Chains A and B, each alone.
Chain A
Amino acid sequence: MKGSLLQRVDQGVRHLMPMVLTLLLVFLDAVPVHLPAFALVVPLLPLVGIYYWSIYRPDLMPPAMAFGLGIVNDVIAGTPLGVSSLIYLLAQGMTASQRRFFHGKPFRVAWWGFGLVGSGAFLLQWVLVSALNGHRLGFHPVLFEFLMTMCIYPVLSWLFARAQLALLRSA
């Protein structure tokens, strides 16, 4: 009996991994980088986490979690509260509903899918922040941020895959 309790705790902790990793990306995004070029184009790292786990373990990345991560992201980044939560929520919903399409497909298909979700996310963020500020923001930096996020996707996706193999294979 004791063994099974320990097992359950162990599994519970393992199941928190997608949330913890994505939360870590939220924090990582906020680390001040004192490099001139980098401060302008910052990839939206948490989106990669939301997307990846919504495809491969949607049970561990439910809508409420995406929403919560968005709230934390909004507070840290200083964006109007509700913007990131809506974007992460929609990204989760879109991806999780189409996830069967990605199963067993080569990596580049998942990358392409991320491109679709990512472009939608950035566009929506641009529209929402512009509307809430009552001023149309420049579009170029947003485009570069999107491209930067696309470039970082393979790396993070590979890391997530390693983590999934190591910690969630049995669960």
Chain B
Amino acid sequence: MKQHSGALGRLATLKQLAQRFAFLALAVASFGLMLLGKADTVVVERMRVAISDTVVPILDVMSRPAGAIADVVGAVRELATLRAENVRLREENANLMHWQTLARQLDNENRALRNQLNYLPDPDPSFITARVVGDTGGAFVHSMLINAGSRDGIRKGQAVIAGEFLVGRIAEVGNRSARVLLITDINSHIPVLLENSRAKAILAGDNTDRPRLSYLPTNTNAAPGDRVVSSGHGGAFPPGLPIGVVASVQEGVVRVEPYVHRYQLEYVTVVDYGLPGVLPSDAAPEGRER
């Protein structure tokens, strides 16, 4: 009997040792994955993509009721501000009618001038609209999963817009899922222009709601309210896509308020402008700028 319990005791010790070893191995594996991911190997990306392809259908189903609830909340909020909104829209409409007239005139003029110049127009971009199915929110990452992937024609590096505004780019593509890296993410660096002064800069996210303008020439006068648009340098985005407005200039740090906020994104449009140059890595445009 005593011998038997001794054997059992040894077995228990062995089992405990094995468990400790497994725990340690898993911890080492975690660090290994972090390093491997940092080295940007294809293996890690394939793994990510395989898992996200698997879970996106589930996320798709789960995000639908959430969308419906958000719609109801939005509707109630809209009811409360209906009158004020109406007045604002009337004013805006009057304003826009004026612009519409102007735009028609300019469009006609443009067409006439182009005819005289034998101008070759840019090819029309093709686009895919997808639903945002996964967004954990929070401070650590500013990116989201969408329910469309390479089978829908989405490619890495394509621009992601909401309405007319640039919100990010495609960072990872699976078969039926893709990850959008938002312009506010710490890994996002986009070549931009200040529309008024035509000053070039890099819009660098830092995981806050307002990304910073870096590499802005020192003699530029950036003032709150200045529009920021994509410059088209680096070849990832076409020039002139509106991104946001300068929100604050403090001690040389210029912050930009994007036109579209993360929480507003329910559907996004992935646009293929047929541009050959895709940023190979985020560091590239910075390097060129220096």
What range describes how many residues of B lie at the interface?
35 or more
Please judge, given known A-B contacts A32-B144, A34-B266, whether A133 and B186 are in contact too, CB under 8 Å: yes
A41 at interface, CB cutoff 8 A: yes
Cα A41 to Cα B138 with chains together (Å):
5
Q: Is A29 a contact partner of B26 (Cβ separation < 8 A)?
A: no
Q: Which residues of A contact B73 (CB under 8 A)?
A: 35
A78→B186 CA distance, assembly (Å): 12
User: With a CB–CB cut-off of 8 A, which chain B residues contact A125?
Assistant: 140
Binds A, one of B6-14, B47-55, B225-233: B47-55
Report how far A114 CA is from B203 CA in the complex, Å: 39
CA distance A76 to B23 in the complex (A): 24
Query: What CA separation (Å) do A27 and B139 show in the bound complex?
Result: 18
Chain A residues with a Cβ closer than 8 Å to the other chain, count: 47
Minimum CB–CB distance for A89 against chain B, Å: 5
Q: Indicate if A135 sits at the interface (CB-CB under 8 A).
A: yes
Q: Given the interface contacts A78-B141, A89-B23, does A138 sit within 8 Å of B30 by beta carbon?
A: no
Given contacts A33-B66, A82-B32, contact A77 B44 (CB under 8 A): no
> Nearest chain A CB to B79's CB is how many angstroms away?
17
Closest to A80 in B: B37
Complex Cα distance, B138 from A79, in Å, reads 11
A71 near B: Cβ within 8 Å?
yes
From A11-19, A62-70, A103-111, A157-165, the one touching the partner chain is A62-70
User: For chain A residues 15-46, which have a beta carbon within 8 Å of chain B?
Assistant: 27-36, 38-42
Which residues of A approach B to under 8 Å, CB–CB?
27-36, 38-42, 63-64, 67, 70-72, 75-83, 85-86, 89-90, 93, 125-126, 128-129, 132-133, 135, 137-138, 141-142, 145
Report, nearest first, the 9 A-B pairs whose CB atoms are least far apart.
Answer: A82-B33, A141-B139, A86-B30, A34-B70, A39-B263, A82-B34, A42-B137, A30-B134, A77-B136
7 pairs of residues in contact across A and B, judged by CB atoms under 8 Å: A30-B59, A34-B263, A75-B48, A82-B32, A82-B34, A86-B31, A90-B27
